[in-house]
Structure 1
Amino acid sequence: MRKNHIILLTIFLISVICLAETEPTKIKKTCQKACCAGSKEKPQPTQVAQILAKLRKGTDNLTSYQADIEYTIIQDPELLDSRTLRKGTLYYIREKGGSKLRINFRTVKYDDDAEQNDRQDFLFDGVWLTKVDYKLKTADLIQQQKADNPIDAFEYIGENFPLVGFSRTEQLEKDFEITLPQPITADPNSLIHLDMKVKKDSHYKDQYRHINFGIDKKTFLPAEMVTTSTDDNKYDIRLLNPKINKKIKNLVFKLETPAHFDKIRTPLK
């Protein structure tokens, strides 16, 4: 009888030892499985990424756009603080054959002087840039692209004018360090502000340092941008009273130049 007790005790001790050796392994494997399962979950997009996705959707669906534009150039803000404010209208249309953009500036205001009439028209049709200055009585036609390789009008303007966010939206995070400097308010009329610092390898590194970028909550399109250039000048653009995907007459994109104006036509080299 005593011998049987010894045998049973020995078996029990062996079982305990085996259990002690195997349980940590099971626990470890269970934890590993749980960790692996967690690592397979896709990371949630940040708030900035969500905003940019909505901006991209808004610009991708754009077929026409019209807005009042206020464009202020601030030269040497720290010393001279010389300001030039131009007001006018921006028109854009995108069709199967390409896109066109026109800006009509009607007035100008220098510093504290009174606002005065000063008409300037700009038209880009994907190939040719036309600038008509009614004060100087000149018309400059400059070819920017080959006729068989037109570029989107907003993309071209973004390259040569501090108006970004209507094109290359998928590249914004590659070109800028983007943060949300303040929480988004519940006011539907307020803008979503993004702080955009130009990266060292950015497409815009030779043009700009920084952009304060404002997005309209109702349209999720650019509405305001204050840009600091590499020479520290500031460019303040505000787009007001936008009309989205509304019909724009083709006549708007036919720029008639008075016959007595001096015309200079510069083909692409």
Structure 2
Amino acid sequence: MRSPTPTPSPTATPSPSATPSSTRSTTPSSSATPSPTRTVSPSVTPTPAACGNGAVQPGEECDDGNLLDGDGCDATCRSELIPGSGPRRSDCLHEWLTSPVPSRGRSGVPLTALVCVDDDPSCDFGANTGDAACRFHVALCLNVSERRFVDRAAQPLCTPTDVAWVTFTAPREADPRDATEVANRDALEAALAGAGATVRRQCQPPGVVPSTPCASDSDCGGTRHCRTRFMLFTPPLDVHDRCTAFADVIVPLRLGAHGAGTGTRTLRLSSGSSIGTRDSDVLKLVCRPRRAL
């Protein structure tokens, strides 16, 4: 506060006592000088991570750098991949991707069955209506960065390394159910070929790891036979999150004396890494007849 102005005394000489005290100086003291304050700048505040930035953040199952559905990672960064009921510790070798994505179970993971009504354009991709069949779109995703299944320390149960081979047990090669199974297997193998795999055969009996490629029985030492076909990656596929193009998998309706009934086809495969890890996956495709209105 400013000191009051002194009043002059009657004599011409000002009284010394009237001189303002130095302790009442109008000059602000050093203690009155405002101390430097921290300036809050918006550029200093970290920007919250957002889905679609290409980096997986806490709370995200995936992040492929976009906000599109149907490509394996949806617009909310939830995985759309189908584990296929194999062991959780080897799920990262292979998972299915379908269009559309099946319903999710209680855990939030897509179920291993996709149901479609004949001629429904959201799931039946056939060119013709009235063909009594559903044409499903199925892709195979390899060497997956699987973050949905974790241990007690919140670490992924499966760490992707590579995929050396894939073999189909359904559709069957040796004894196909019909021409549709042959076409379905060819379509799935063509999708894998597009990812770099080549068709090979392996020495039987069944159940062995396809480590002995063959062209004829003579390659199997006389004790086994050159039979089961499999897809071989040379060198093993080590790229993470590699999904094939969609393959057309056809599921005909079951036709009988009383009309069309629900048709079902099951896909089964095994896959393996170069270090011996194996995975088995199943996918059930169901085609239901369209009911008359």
TM value normalised by structure 2: 0.28
Higher helix share: 1
Higher strand share: 1
Q: Answer with 1 or 2: which has the greater Rg.
A: 2
